[in-house]
Chain A
Amino acid sequence: MSRGFLLDSHVLLWLDQELLIYSPAAYEIAKAGATGRLFVSDISICELGVASHKKSLEKRPDLRGLSIDGWFDETTNRLGARTIRITQAIAVEAANVPGIYGSGDPGDCFLIATARLRRLSLVTRDTKIIALAKRERGYLDVTVC
């Protein structure tokens, strides 16, 4: 059994928007939220905050008119998710991720590093991250949603 679940930034946004996700994954998220095993990373604040400044209105995440920190706090509280702070150990691990992942996307690297160090399953629909978990057995546990 996984020690818990870490939500990828887009999953956090989808849950807030009540968009459809794969129901077995949604069950795991709901259960983890009720049992204190649901986590989000500070890096999601940065990822979604940066996205909210995109020039194209259509590409901006819908934060319901809230500031990014206000939206993040309200959403994570409602879901029962706990925030994992970015520590030096996570930053060091994130720096090593591109060598295996093949991409230097900072958000992805921090999420992968956080999931690895905290032994969490990363809940995602990111095809590159899912491919990494399939390719490098034992490197990263993912829950596809």
Chain B
Amino acid sequence: MSAIEKVTVTRIGADTVYTNESGESFTIRGRGKGLGLEVDPRIDLTKPIYEQVIQLAAKDRAKERKQQATAA
């Protein structure tokens, strides 16, 4: 398992740069698609992503249902 706790994620052009707490950076080269544009601001990138995505989707569905019920 990874021993690294906190990583900062930044976009530079098409690439994604990951920086650890000591300031050491490494880059994953991208195709200029995806990450920078698609990140939901409610998602904390330093925590497991998919659990958050699932929880947020459930929250959004619940909110939508509530709005529909109110409208009806």
Contacts and interface: CB of A to CB of B under 8 A. Distances in A.
Nearest to B31: A18
Q: Chain B, interface size: which category?
A: 20 to 34
Interface string B43-70: 1011111100100000000000000000
Interface residues of A, number: 26
B71 interface: no
A15 B28 CA distance: 8
Given A15-B28, A30-B26, A30-B27, A21 B49 contact: yes
Chain A binding surface, main DSSP class: helix
Interface of B: 1-2, 4-9, 16-20, 24, 26-31, 33-35, 38-39, 43, 45-50, 53
Interface of A: 15-31, 33-34, 78-79, 125, 141-144
